[in-house]
Structure 1
Amino acid sequence: MLAPVETRSVSPVFVGRADELDTLNDALSRAAAGEPQALLIGGEAGVGKTRLVEEFATAACRRGAVVALGGCVEIGADGLPFAPFSTALRALRRALPDELAAAAAGQEEELARLLPEMGEAGTGRHDEEGMARLFELTARLLERVAADRTVVVALEDLHWADASTRHLLSYLLRTLRTGRLVVLATYRSDDIHRRHPLRPLLAELDRLRTVRRLELARLTREEVGRQIAGILAYEPDPAQVDDIFERSDGNAFFVEELAVAAHEGCCAGLTDSLRDLLLVRVETLPESAQKVTRIVAEGGSTVEYRLLAAVARLTEDDLIEALRAAVGANILLATPTDDGYRFRHSLVREAVGDDLLPGERSRLNRRYAEALEADPTLVPADERVMRLASYWYHAHDAAKALPAVLDASVAARSRHAYSEQLRLLERAMELWETVPEDVRARLRPVDYTEVYPPRGCGPATTPLRYLDLMAEAAVAGRLCGERERALKITKRALHLLEDENDPLRAAWFWVQRSRLVQALARGDGWKELATAQDLVRGLPPSEVHAEVLAMVAGWSMLHEPGPEAMTAAERAVEYARMVGARTIELNARLTLGGLRVDAGAIEAGLAEMYEVKGRAAELGMNTEMGHRAHVNLPSALEGVGRSKEAVGILEEGVLLTRRAGLPDSEAWVWGNLAESLHSLGRWDEAVTAAANAQRIEQSAKPRTGGSMRLALLALDRGDLPEAARRLSAARASFGTHDPMPQYMLPMSQIALGIAAAEGRPADARTELLKALDTGFPPGTQRYGWPLLLAAATAEAEALGLPAAEPDRPEIIGRIRKAAKTLATRVPLWQAYDQWLRAELLRAEGRFAPEEWAAAVEAVEPLERPYDLARVRFRSAEALLASGSGEDERDRATELLRLAHAVADHLGARPLADAVALLAQRARLTLTATPGPAPDDPARALGLTSRERDVLRLVSAGRTNRQIAEELFISPKTASVHVSNILSKLGVSGRGEAAAVAHRLGLFPAEVLQAPSAG
């Protein structure tokens, strides 16, 4: 009778969980319809999470879904990164080999960091975007695999997850957009104490509307009775059910253990101790089987058969008999791949492990380590170094553990698992002083370090130093987001360097501190960079020296562009070339190009930036420089008014950064694209681009740019509450620790515009004066002109308000004075200059039609429809206010119609309302006169309405200057129109054009009469 019970300690009847299973099946149905689903299943140990997942997986398979299971393992705490994702992807590869290969095509090198079977992992540079790139590629891989079939990815035991797994899961659940995909994860809720690393992730995921969270409750008495009946295959005695229910408190696993123990007659001897309950059946096994369970308990969540055989040191027959007994008692299970064994429940493994004596535990770990060193093929290749490091560390053999831990840190870095790399490096630093000097002397930097050295700080043949470990740990901490820990490490390193004459190492650590201080919003990072610059001053060229200069130039470009920044960039390029630091060279050249644009050497600067973009493309788009070029170059183009050119590069950049899996770079590109689309009058597209920048951002600065663009669009459309909300979000994201002009000036412009629109002129002036007191650094004219224009417009709108009158002359004077400091080297800035002059005259109560006509002429060629509509409106207003004649009224009517059409198309409600109000007051109609008939020859020839007007005057014998005066355009613009007309008519001169117009009867004879003299 005992045999059936031994194999059925797990009830064949699935008890309870009907509601939870319905929720999971509903998620499966939604996923099958193309809506990705994410679920978290929590519950105490033994409550039935795994059983629920198994039942759901079985049902999902029956419905045609592909199920990929992956489990976190406790060795993750020792640095085995991405374990559940690797296992799940491996399962997908077995189930869908062709589909997975097609989905991963072109990105195998990166994805091999998660699934080594895809090939050799790439050896590219490790930077801030390395992990983000891997995460993005993984998310898109799963979306592509699940494009045509339903896929379930189940990750168990999230409470054991390594930090990299937690980060990847968070990214995945936040960014899944398409695909027939269900992602679910289980965790022990009773293990999640206040400081457990999973706790903040759960809180973060709770805020996502796309994630559902299930908490499994304990079983009721009725459910316990049904579970016992399933285990025993007969109805149990009610008193027995009461007893087991009371002792198990409804925990499904404890019910199983108590039911089997009671049936085997062990119940009388059991205490209430959980440990005793879990160990009671282990202790009834033969001694050899107990020995094997102890070995398996210390080997990890799963132990391969060949490794177990090497450690157990039993004959094969004895080992198999011992395993048969443990499996028969339902204590151990064979793994799904049939190459190893694991405990049926982790609680039993923990109890067996806790029962080991301290010396016994270290001895078993040593045997595991020795067996693995003797035959590395005993475990999967991607786990080998991590497990060896764990075994030697827990064997308390520091001399063996240190190199093993360092090897594991290198493996973690190669997988972009920087959290695990940091933990392993900290373990190496902990072991350092306990390791004999001769062992440390055999360790070489080139074997264990990537970021530094070698960086010009000494030959690679020198022994590894404690400072080298600190350098690697500082960078790992920065890359994985553990910036506080990294900052502490740099502080300790610099303290150690106080007693050494090693300026290059010290400068390198100061550069890291600068980056960390900025990332932690502790300051702008200049003090740290200046210290590094002082340390390398006068030293021979080196990679560290070049990087310091490149960092100084980059910082200065964003904060204080000028001659010193230019000099630093030029020297950085020179030094980087001398030492062969190609990435630093391109980085510095891109900065140099931007600085040249800011300094006025616009074509030379843009040419430099275009060349860097081309070189980066030659090196491959996965380089950091390639992505930066697609951000900085179009930003420079937009700054000088070449928005359409910028859009082409940015659209290319969106595709390239997305393909490379770089969300932060993609967010920057989207933010810049929103700005250029806004300029070109493609506002709906700009809103989408800005929203994309915020949706995929990973850091505060792209989020700030997206919020600013959305705020300005809302302001232009008259949605003041939305504009204020977006501005507040921008300021909250960016803060005040690092007042860069490219953020602070546009935010001041938006705040000023909101205040003016809400009738708060004093607040608008306050924003202006704060900006003027700070000043406009060289190269910030792209931000300075719009701010001054917004201030002048606010003053003009406040004309006549008693509260705004006293300080008006002073404010206008300060605006004029500030404008004189801004460059006017390109047509865009010249147009702003002319526009500002006209606006300031309006603020003084003077209507100057000629100034506004000049502003219209300056803005017309710029392809900025909203700006053109605004100046046309003001030009019409000036014409009507000047009391001119009928010709001026006709011109004003035309200008208002054009402005209103643009405002209406863009949804610029304040401008549209202002135009309509002015037209109403002037008794002008905004409805255009009926246009040419559909069969009108002018339309058939492709002539626009303006070209039709110009052709009428050409046919009447007007010169370009006379045409310009009559149509209120510039002679240059009139000349362009005449050239276009000649081209469309296919004629070579004005006389032929007039003849064509006469032959086709385009104009009545009376309109061709020459004007009377005078």
Structure 2
Amino acid sequence: MLGRVDTRSVSPVFVGRTGELTALTAALARADAGEPQALLVSGEAGVGKTRLVEELVDTACSRGAVVAVGGCVEIGADGLPFAPFSTALRSLLRRLPDELIAAADGQEGELARILPELGQSGREALGEDATARLFELTVRLLERLAADRTVVLVLEDLHWSDASTRNLLAYLFRALRRGRLVVIATYRADDIHRRHPLRPLLAELDRLRSVRHLELSRFTRAEVATQLAGILAAEPGAALLDEIFTRSDGNAFFVEELACSYGTGCSPGLTESLRDVLLVRVEALPDHAQRVVRIVAEGGTTVEHPLLLAVSRLAEDDLIEALRLAVGANILLPVDDNSYRFRHSLVREAVSDDLLPGERSRLNRRYAEALEADPGGVCVDVRTTRLAGYWYNAHDAAKALPVVLSAAVEARRRYAYSEQLRLLERAMELWDDAPPEVLATLRPPDDAEVYPACASGTKTSALSYLDLMAEATVAARFGGDRERALALSKKAVRVLERDTDPLRAAWFWTQRSRLTQELTRGDGWDELATAQELVRGLPPSAVHADILVNIASWGALHRPGPEALAAATRAVEYAELVGAETIELHARLTRGWLTADAGGVEEGLAEMYAVRDRAVEIGEVGVIGRAGTNLPSTLEAMGRSAEAVAAAELAIAHCHQRGLANSEGWVRGNLAQSLTSLGRWTEADRILDEAAGLAHSRKTRGLIADRRAELALRRGDLTQARVQVDAARAFYGTHDPQPQHSISLSRMAMCVAAREGRLADARAEFEQAVGRGFPPGTQRYALPLLCAAVAMEAGALGLPGSAGGRARILAAVRAEAKRLPTVVPVWQAYGLLLDAELARAEGRTDPELWGRAALAFERAGRPYETAVAQCGWAAALLDAHGNRSAAAGPLARAHALAAGLGARPLAEETAQLAARARIGLDAAPGEGDPTADDTDPVRALGLTPREQDVLRLVAAGHTNRRIAEELYISPKTASVHVSNILGKLGVSGRTEAAATAHRLRLFGDPVA
């Protein structure tokens, strides 16, 4: 509207900031080379953050980079989500329309929640994963845009950011992995008080090594002199420099304002308050221009010309003249899209603070009325939120309440749950002041499955206060404010104690169950039981079905068995009756999983496949993610590892396509387990590395640590195995113990302790696991644990002090084994291995048991377990018959498998067993090697004769003093020999050395 207006208060000379600008340009260079960059720029208001970024932008543009700038706006506190990202992406859409459309291909419906210009938003997928999915897709969009060109994304004024923007920025900084992208975020450091909502994000980002933080300080006196020379086009006098430097204290913006006051004849000494300095030029304007400036100050960060024309009630020529004066005074700036904003937000804040309370309310009412009269003057994605803010600040509850509720629905549809919560809380605040006739017109939305208020109790035509509480509870939970969600659900239950509405009360108790688990306050069962009791005897409903599916899922994870299976079946029936397909799919998935575990393998797996395919067909994202996790896991449990790999790879494709990063991380963890079972350990390592970059939840990180512990244990890296077991336990926590996690971790912790010679600790770990019990369906975890416990006892035969607890451990193993079904081949193989290990632990030698176990594992496609059984078979043949020829084949196969896998302890055991039996490991299957070295097999370990004597006494439990007495050497010499032995055996202590000697039977048969 105004064309070019000459402004001179901003210095034409860029002052100082050499180090900071160098850091920014270096980051730009690294991005040009393909390494994405993330930077934070902070400093007090007016210190020059924007000017520094503008210098970088000029440099980036000169190098051919594409720059997009988005700023947070103060209305974000009222619920305007993703404001800076929307603005920046809109700029990229104007600059790179074809490229952005291509980058968003297939996900336009989801990305439209941030950039509405991409089209109609897709069908809503309610849940916390929906937000993470949107974030992942946004990151991928930016990575694709920056694949072939450098893109600089600037997000200004984070101190005003809404929660959704903060969460998206945190996700972007964590998940950015590729692309020529520079992300720069700025914020006012002086605004970040102790309870400012940005503070937790800053603490999180400070821990990321990939984020560079630049903090701007104030100018020195010399830098202020340079700045003044640029503004005044002449060197400042010493007196003026001293006064402005003292008054401004080196703040760049205050230097400009004071210089401007001096240049317009207003001595900077006339005002004591810097706030007054900011108003000097405003008060120098004519009255009608001052009035327009005050109107703009109350309209938001930017105000559109048509809206300003309506609110000012001036003739257009008069408005343009007033705006020209304000722009000429460098107070306002015209914006490209026919809008106006203050040149600096400090001036806008000063003008706004100077308004009288009644004046502020009146201006907000005018804005609201003007926006209602002409909605097209404001961008569609901010229209409702701005209207809600105007009416709220106008203190008109009757007008504000309906539009605040509409803004809450829009925030929910954009997955901006934190903003939705704030708006709902504002609606609850307005509720009592709204006239009854207004309340009577309010209606819940029609999308019952998406909008939980409609399903939370008896469906009525009018919206109730409890409906708002239900929505706020879910919004708080999905937005990550679980404490607030729990408080709301507890308050609602107290309110419902006075009302007779068991269905609604049951819904809130179900929410409390979820929140109790998520807040690590318990396992949530008591709350679920209360909900179940409340709906007992009531007609079928979506709430009833939801409670049942939650009970079934809880049971599948905590107490799998007939009761959980029955609950899943009832949930399916109830969901079918009320037409709640999403609940039905979740229930069927749980039922299939439990059916397979109960022995109906084909029936259960068929149902799980059908659920997965139906979820993909209808686009039910939550079920797609869960099916992608549970189906490969169940296939692996049934010993169908190759089929599990195929199912997991398809699930990864589905999750990746839909942006389900955390679910993809979990699926990759399951894929790594199946690859480990198949002997593809290097692939499993790679998959786990990729999973770690996708995992956002603690449980997914726990799963990855669990899988890494297994690989480390099989490879013999006991330190790494112990670290990963501890990490997995920390991630899983102790508040919600689940057999699928605890049993495997107990097994690995037990094995580490046993191999380190800590037999008492290993036994204690086993007994704790037995004490927790092995519910039906946990045989996939329990059978390997029992086998490992018996192998531990067999390996400790003859170890001094080991006999004391052996009978108790073996009795517990036998008792538990009787209760574990072995209905699929892989479980049958473990059952055979258990029988063989029990015979060995009891001093019996039965080669047939070992041979059957080896054959069973070979048929099941488990190479590591096959090698273990082959090794045991060879040892049994040697012990029973001394048949080197018969033992040679199993031993050679065991060694080849172990060496090929990288299972170092098992490879060493087979090599040492071969040395003891004088069998060549390169012998053909079934053949011995009569020419093999006949030297004492202990020499294969590199031990000298004296060290052999010392090791024999160490294995017998003797101390260094006793060894010295037996061998007629000094205790110091005995200690040196022991140290050398520990190094050659690769063990950490005497006990572990003794255990190794007994396990390998280096000095003859052990004695029980």
Question: Quick check: TM above 0.5?
Answer: yes
Task: Name the CA distance, whole Å, in 1 between partners of 2:41 and 2:905.
Answer: 51
Aligned to 1:900: 895
CA contact (8 A) 2:257 2:277 kept: yes
- 1:364-513 equivalences in 2 (<5 Å): 364-446=363-445, 450-455=450-455, 457-460=457-460, 462-513=461-512
Task: Name the CA distance, whole Å, in 1 between partners of 2:903 and 2:456.
Answer: 57
- Please, which of 792, 795, 799 is the counterpart of residue 794 of structure 1? 792
Task: Name the CA distance, whole Å, in 2 between partners of 1:624 and 1:19.
Answer: 48
CA contact (8 A) 2:867 2:897 kept: yes
Aligned to 2:612: 613
Aligned to 2:918: 923
Secondary structure (helix, strand or coil) at the match of 1:186 reads strand
Secondary structure (helix, strand or coil) at the match of 1:34 reads coil
Aligned to 2:943: none
After TM superposition, give the deviation of residue 434 of structure 1 in Å.
Answer: 1.2
- Alpha carbons of structure 1 residues 547 and 366: separation in structure 2 relative to 1, 3 Å: same
Aligned to 1:193: 193
What is the identity, as a one-letter code, of the residue corresponding to 2:344?
Answer: H
Task: Name the CA distance, whole Å, in 2 between partners of 1:536 and 1:628.
Answer: 27
After TM superposition, give the deviation of residue 338 of structure 1 in Å.
Answer: 4.0
After TM superposition, give the deviation of residue 639 of structure 1 in Å.
Answer: 0.5
Task: Name the CA distance, whole Å, in 1 between partners of 2:48 and 2:5.
Answer: 19
Task: Name the CA distance, whole Å, in 1 between partners of 2:308 and 2:369.
Answer: 12
- 1:403-802 equivalences in 2 (<5 Å): 403-446=402-445, 450-455=450-455, 457-460=457-460, 462-620=461-619, 622-802=620-800
Aligned to 1:151: 151
Aligned to 1:139: 139
Aligned to 2:938: none
Secondary structure (helix, strand or coil) at the match of 2:549 reads helix
After TM superposition, give the deviation of residue 825 of structure 1 in Å.
Answer: 0.5
- More moved, 96-105 vs 439-448: 439-448
Aligned to 2:263: 263
Task: Name the CA distance, whole Å, in 2 between partners of 1:360 and 1:269.
Answer: 30
Secondary structure (helix, strand or coil) at the match of 2:139 reads helix
- Answer yes or no: is 1:46 the counterpart of 2:64: no
CA contact (8 A) 1:389 1:405 kept: yes
What is the identity, as a one-letter code, of the residue corresponding to 1:899?
Answer: A
Q: TM-score, normalised by structure 1?
A: 0.90
Task: Name the CA distance, whole Å, in 1 between partners of 2:268 and 2:715.
Answer: 79
Secondary structure (helix, strand or coil) at the match of 1:383 reads helix
Task: Name the CA distance, whole Å, in 1 between partners of 2:692 and 2:190.
Answer: 35
Secondary structure (helix, strand or coil) at the match of 1:779 reads coil
Q: TM-score, normalised by structure 2?
A: 0.90
What is the identity, as a one-letter code, of the residue corresponding to 2:68?
Answer: A
CA contact (8 A) 1:673 1:686 kept: yes
- More moved, 120-129 vs 584-593: 120-129
CA contact (8 A) 1:74 1:160 kept: yes
Task: Name the CA distance, whole Å, in 2 between partners of 1:338 and 1:164.
Answer: 25
CA contact (8 A) 2:124 2:413 kept: no
Write the deviation string for residues 649-681 of structure 1: whole angstroms up to 9, x where unpaired. 101111110110112211221111111111111
After TM superposition, give the deviation of residue 875 of structure 1 in Å.
Answer: 1.1
Secondary structure (helix, strand or coil) at the match of 1:153 reads strand
After TM superposition, give the deviation of residue 907 of structure 1 in Å.
Answer: 1.8
What is the identity, as a one-letter code, of the residue corresponding to 2:66?
Answer: V
Task: Name the CA distance, whole Å, in 2 between partners of 1:99 and 1:693.
Answer: 29
What is the identity, as a one-letter code, of the residue corresponding to 1:721?
Answer: T
Aligned to 1:849: 847
Secondary structure (helix, strand or coil) at the match of 2:365 reads helix
- Answer yes or no: is 1:245 the counterpart of 2:245: yes
What is the identity, as a one-letter code, of the residue corresponding to 1:415?
Answer: R
After TM superposition, give the deviation of residue 697 of structure 1 in Å.
Answer: 1.7
Write the deviation string for residues 704-735 of structure 1: whole angstroms up to 9, x where unpaired. 11111111111111111111111111111111
Could you tell me which runs of 5 or more consecutive residues in structure 2 were left unpaired when the two chains were aligned.
928-1008
After TM superposition, give the deviation of residue 272 of structure 1 in Å.
Answer: 2.6
Task: Name the CA distance, whole Å, in 2 between partners of 1:408 and 1:394.
Answer: 15
After TM superposition, give the deviation of residue 447 of structure 1 in Å.
Answer: 6.3
Task: Name the CA distance, whole Å, in 1 between partners of 2:886 and 2:427.
Answer: 80
Task: Name the CA distance, whole Å, in 2 between partners of 1:414 and 1:775.
Answer: 44
After TM superposition, give the deviation of residue 456 of structure 1 in Å.
Answer: 7.5
Task: Name the CA distance, whole Å, in 2 between partners of 1:113 and 1:891.
Answer: 70
What is the identity, as a one-letter code, of the residue corresponding to 1:29?
Answer: A
What is the identity, as a one-letter code, of the residue corresponding to 2:906?
Answer: L
- Alpha carbons of structure 1 residues 731 and 456: separation in structure 2 relative to 1, 3 Å: closer
What is the identity, as a one-letter code, of the residue corresponding to 2:165?
Answer: T
After TM superposition, give the deviation of residue 834 of structure 1 in Å.
Answer: 0.5
Task: Name the CA distance, whole Å, in 2 between partners of 1:372 and 1:626.
Answer: 42
CA contact (8 A) 1:68 1:152 kept: yes
CA contact (8 A) 1:515 1:525 kept: yes
CA contact (8 A) 1:694 1:707 kept: no
Write the deviation string for residues 40-75 of structure 1: whole angstroms up to 9, x where unpaired. 000000000000111110110000100000000000
After TM superposition, give the deviation of residue 878 of structure 1 in Å.
Answer: 1.3
Task: Name the CA distance, whole Å, in 2 between partners of 1:790 and 1:800.
Answer: 18
CA contact (8 A) 1:298 1:361 kept: yes
Aligned to 1:231: 231
After TM superposition, give the deviation of residue 268 of structure 1 in Å.
Answer: 5.1
What is the identity, as a one-letter code, of the residue corresponding to 2:385?
Answer: M
Secondary structure (helix, strand or coil) at the match of 1:341 reads strand
Could you tell me which runs of 5 or more consecutive residues in structure 1 were left unpaired when the two chains were aligned.
930-944, 948-1014
Task: Name the CA distance, whole Å, in 1 between partners of 2:745 and 2:654.
Answer: 30
What is the identity, as a one-letter code, of the residue corresponding to 1:242?
Answer: D
Aligned to 1:914: 909
CA contact (8 A) 1:42 1:49 kept: yes
Task: Name the CA distance, whole Å, in 2 between partners of 1:453 and 1:312.
Answer: 41
Q: Equivalent pairs: percent with the same residue? A: 64
What is the identity, as a one-letter code, of the residue corresponding to 1:211?
Answer: V
Task: Name the CA distance, whole Å, in 1 between partners of 2:899 and 2:73.
Answer: 60
Secondary structure (helix, strand or coil) at the match of 2:39 reads strand
Task: Name the CA distance, whole Å, in 2 between partners of 1:557 and 1:448.
Answer: 30
Task: Name the CA distance, whole Å, in 1 between partners of 2:917 and 2:459.
Answer: 82
Aligned to 1:933: none
What is the identity, as a one-letter code, of the residue corresponding to 1:42?
Answer: S
- Answer yes or no: is 1:109 the counterpart of 2:109: yes
Task: Name the CA distance, whole Å, in 2 between partners of 1:860 and 1:891.
Answer: 18
Secondary structure (helix, strand or coil) at the match of 1:265 reads coil
- Answer yes or no: is 1:356 the counterpart of 2:355: yes
CA contact (8 A) 1:410 1:448 kept: no
Task: Name the CA distance, whole Å, in 2 between partners of 1:372 and 1:402.
Answer: 16
Task: Name the CA distance, whole Å, in 2 between partners of 1:92 and 1:946.
Answer: 71
What is the identity, as a one-letter code, of the residue corresponding to 2:776?
Answer: P
Quote the RMSD (CA, aligned, Å): 1.6
CA contact (8 A) 1:5 1:232 kept: no
Aligned to 1:344: 343
Secondary structure (helix, strand or coil) at the match of 2:128 reads coil
Task: Name the CA distance, whole Å, in 2 between partners of 1:499 and 1:255.
Answer: 63
After TM superposition, give the deviation of residue 5 of structure 1 in Å.
Answer: 12
CA contact (8 A) 1:422 1:476 kept: yes
After TM superposition, give the deviation of residue 882 of structure 1 in Å.
Answer: 2.2
Task: Name the CA distance, whole Å, in 1 between partners of 2:678 and 2:361.
Answer: 69
CA contact (8 A) 2:218 2:249 kept: yes
Provide the aligned length of Structure 1 versus Structure 2.
923
Task: Name the CA distance, whole Å, in 2 between partners of 1:511 and 1:684.
Answer: 43
Task: Name the CA distance, whole Å, in 1 between partners of 2:309 and 2:186.
Answer: 32
After TM superposition, give the deviation of residue 847 of structure 1 in Å.
Answer: 2.4
After TM superposition, give the deviation of residue 946 of structure 1 in Å.
Answer: 10
CA contact (8 A) 1:152 1:183 kept: yes
After TM superposition, give the deviation of residue 758 of structure 1 in Å.
Answer: 0.9
What is the identity, as a one-letter code, of the residue corresponding to 2:910?
Answer: V
Aligned to 1:304: 304
Secondary structure (helix, strand or coil) at the match of 1:807 reads helix
